[in-house]
Structures are given as C-alpha cells and as structure tokens.
Structure 1
Amino acid sequence: MLARWDRFDRDFENLLRSFGFQADVAGPFLGRSPRDGEKLTAPADIVETAAGYQVKVDLPGVDPKGLNVQLDKDVLTISAERRAETRTEKDNVLRMERVHGTFARSFVLPHNVDASKIEAAFEHGVLTVTLPKKEEEKPRTIDIKVN
C-alpha cells in the first residue's frame, strides 16, 4: 500500500493556491475525498457574449431534482448534493475516487444582467445558466416646462 507524502501534498496545494485555486483543490488529484462536512466545488466557465453571460458548471452524477439555483440581489448561487452509492457488506471496494457530498458556488453578477430573464438548463451533467443583458437605455430628450 502506498503512503501519502504529506510534504508533497502541502507543496502541491500551495502551488495551486498561488494560482488562485481554493484550499484542498489538490485532493482529487492526490486520490483524496473531502473530509466529512466539507463542501465540494465544481468547475465553472463563465463566458460573455453580446447578448449576455453564460455560466456552465460541471455536475456529473448530480440528480437534477437536488440541484438548486438561487438569485439573491446580485449574487447567483448554485448548490447541489452528489449522494454516495449504496453498497452492501459483500461489496469489496478496491478503489473509490469519485467524491460525494454537498457543494455550493456563488457568483456576483454584473449590474447589466436582466434578472427577470435568467434561465437554467441541465443536460449531460452540465448546468448552463443563461444571464441576458438588460437593454441599454437610449438617450432621450426631456421637455422643459415654461411657466
């Protein structure tokens, strides 16, 4: 059996943190699962187009019924739970790398998002949240009242 080299883990995690990744992001690379009670993170892409923004989050193995997308003022929060598979005592697990647990990601939205038109779709383990931009206000002439 291989023993984990803690110094290597620490150095690798410090390197990833220096690039802006969250703490213990190296865990899955090193064959570790999150400790009980820890939240998982899910990789996300955010793309701006002329019409708006698109947030794509990888959520393999997540049941869409347990997926939650909320908007609170200008903060979009995505949360879900990936449940562990049920096993019997007869099951002989040789390796377990897929992680399970709860996760949440929050994103501060730009001021030009039209919150009333946000849509979300879940397909093939990927959540896509579409955030349309508000229409730009056009210049207008203001009438002057004369007494």
Structure 2
Amino acid sequence: MTLLHYRPLFDVDAELRTIQGEVNRIFGVVNPLNQSDFVPLAELVEMKDSFLLRLELPGVTKTDLNIEVTPDSVHISGQRQASTETAEILNERSEFRYGSFERVVGLPKEVKHNETKANYENGILTLTLPKRLSEENTVHKVTFEQI
C-alpha cells in the first residue's frame, strides 16, 4: 500500500503544467493548450498620495490594450498577437502564450479614477492612481445658530 502525505496547499495546476512540460520536452511536442489565454503579472505599490499599478505585458501594443478604472478597481484586457512571419518553418517550438487576457485588480482604498495616468514602456504598463481624500480625515466645525 502506498502512503500519500496530506498536502492542503498542493497546487494541482502547477503540477499538471510541470508534467505536461516534461512530456512536451521528451517528445518534442508543443501542447496547443499552452498557447491559450494568459494572465499578466501585476504589482501594486502604495505611495503617500497614490497607488502605482504595474503589469508585465511584453509583446502587447498600446492599441491592443483596454483599461477601465473605477474608484475601487482596475480592469485591464487586451490581446497578444502571434507573429505572422510567412517564412518556411521546418520546426517550431514555443512556450510563449498568445491570445486574449483579462485582469481585474482590486484597490485597497478608493482612487480618483478620472485622474489616472498611464505609461507603457518596454512591455511594462504603469498606472498612477491618485488616492481619494477620505471624508473621515477631514474636520468639519459645527456651530450653533443663535436664537
């Protein structure tokens, strides 16, 4: 009888990708499922007056991006196109992922979504999201009307 250890944090998808990668390496086959949709990696940094949201999007052009910002989230979608070289290809092996992508990043505090600034350079999309001033932190003096 084989004894299996209980691993509650076991990532089945990662293990399956590893096994599929080894099978592809051994047999020299690229699984077409590996070239399906992908999710870009993100980094969210909180500054004093704003948030910086960076996404890795190599090979994606500005025209293929759609960015929508609400006070509490950022929705980024787009598509990475495969190269359309027409030279005769004898053999191709690619681990790149092509296709459409979509990423929604929730923000820990509300932002002034209409003042968002975007910069796209060297495959990195950087969004600067100014924080909304919290009503809790402002003081409003209340006076009695004289009778």
TM-score (normalised: structure 1): 0.71
Structure 2: stretches of 5+ with no match in the other structure: 1-8, 25-29
Structure 1: stretches of 5+ with no match in the other structure: 1-13, 18-22
How many residue pairs get aligned? The number is 129
Distance 1:53 1:16 in 2: 31
Deviation at 1:107, TM superposition (A): 1.2
| Distance change (3 Å), C-alpha of 1:65 and 1:51 | same
In structure 1, the residue corresponding to 2:33 is in which secondary structure?
Answer: coil
Identity %: 26
Give the alignment partner of residue 47 of structure 1, picking from 45, 48, 55.
45
> Deviation string for 1:57-116 (max 9, x for gaps)?
000000111111112453310111001111437212332111111101001223331222
- Higher share in helix: 2
* 8 Å contact kept, 1:56–1:128: yes
Give the alignment partner of residue 107 of structure 2, picking from 103, 106, 109.
109
Higher Cα Rg, which structure: 2
Which amino acid in the other structure matches residue 53 of structure 2?
Answer: V
Deviates more, 1:134-143 or 1:26-35: 26-35
- Match for residue 122 of structure 1? 120
Give the alignment partner of residue 71 of structure 1, picking from 69, 72, 77.
69
The aligned runs of 1:23-34 (5 Å cut-off) are 23=13, 27=17, 30=21
* 8 Å contact kept, 1:78–1:106: yes
TM-score (normalised: structure 2): 0.71
Deviation at 1:132, TM superposition (A): 1.0
Structure 1 residue ranges, 4+ long, deviating more than 4 angstroms after superposition: 23-29, 31-34
RMSD over aligned Cα atoms: 3.1
Distance 1:56 1:141 in 2: 40
